[in-house]
Structure formats: structure tokens, C-alpha cells
Structure 1
């Protein structure tokens, strides 16, 4: 039986690509490129965020 849970929303800052590898331009002793792995700061590297809460009307 399928569950009726909503799918997680992709992060709007990284569009679901939560981790990137950036080449620094230098080479390691074995000849490979040195890279930095960076996580998205908005979703902390998960690639998705929780859905936005529904808007509530305040006042009259």
C-alpha cells in the first residue's frame, strides 16, 4: 500500500545538487587534481528542504 507522505522539496539554492567538487588548479604528487568538496549551506548537503509552511492570515 502506498504511503501518502509528501516528497521532499529540492533545495531552491542548489536545485538538489548539494555537494560540488571545485578544482583548485594544483596537482597532487600522483598527478591528479586537488579538489575541494563543498556542501550547500542552505540545506547542509542534503539536497532537499522541508516544505514551506502554509500562510496564515492574521488580523481581520
Structure 2
């Protein structure tokens, strides 16, 4: 029997991959890479989109 998935819509801009770590090319003194985290501006890093009715209701 297949496992059910939640009925939350995935963000159309990031396809559910809401946060990424970008390598700057530099290294720390201990040899690890310098990275910074960037969140999707549309879903604010959650990976899920709000239905349009909920977004427009706040006017």
C-alpha cells in the first residue's frame, strides 16, 4: 500500500529546494570551505507555497 503524502503545495519557484549553500571559493584557516546560505525569497525557506486565497485575504 503506498504511503500518502501531505497535500501541501510545493513552491513553484524553488520546487521544494528552499535553501541552498553556495561555495565562495575561499577557505577557512582549518581548510573547510566558506559557504553562505540562501533561502528562496518566494516561500521564505519553507519549500511550500500558500494558496492564493490565503495570500489575497490580507488586503
Question: Which of the pair is proportionally richer in helix?
Answer: 2
Q: Which runs of 5+ in 1 are unaligned?
A: 1-5, 54-60
TM-score by length of 2: 0.74
Task: List 4+ stretches of structure 1 deviating above 6 A.
Answer: none
Equivalent positions of 1:1-60 (< 5 A) are 7-53=7-53
Name whichever structure is richer in strand by fraction: 1
* Cα drift, residue 47 of structure 1: 0.2
In the alignment, structure 2 segments of 5+ residues that lack a partner are 1-5, 54-59
Q: Which has the larger radius of gyration?
A: 1
Q: Give the count of matched residue pairs.
A: 48
Question: 1:8-59, CA deviations, whole angstroms, 9 ceiling, x for partnerless residues?
Answer: 1000000000000000000001100000100000000000012234xxxxxx
Q: Normalising by structure 1, report the TM-score.
A: 0.73
